[in-house]
Structure 1
Amino acid sequence: MNVVYAFAISASVIASITTLAFLSFPGLLIWCAFIGWAAYLQSGGIASVISSVSASMLFGAFMAWLFAVILSMGVLPFGVPVAAALIVAVMAPIMVIAQKIGLLSVVPATFYGFASSFAFLAQTDGVFNLDSLLSLSLANSLIIVPVSLFIGVFLGWLHATAAGMLTQQAG
Structure 2
Amino acid sequence: MAKAIFGAGCFWSPEEQFRKVPGVTDVAVGYAGGAKENPTYEEVCTGNTGHAEVVEVEYDPEKVAYEDLLEVFFDIHDPTQVNRQGPDVGTQYRSAVFYEDAEQEAAARAVKEKLAARGVPVATEISKADTFWRAEEYHQQFLAKRRKGVSGNLFR
For the aligned pair, the TM-score class normalised by the smaller chain equals under 0.3
TM-score where L is the length of structure 2: 0.27
Which structure carries more relative contact order (alpha carbon 8 Å, separation 6+)? 1
Greater gyration radius: 1
More strand by share: 2
More helix by share: 1
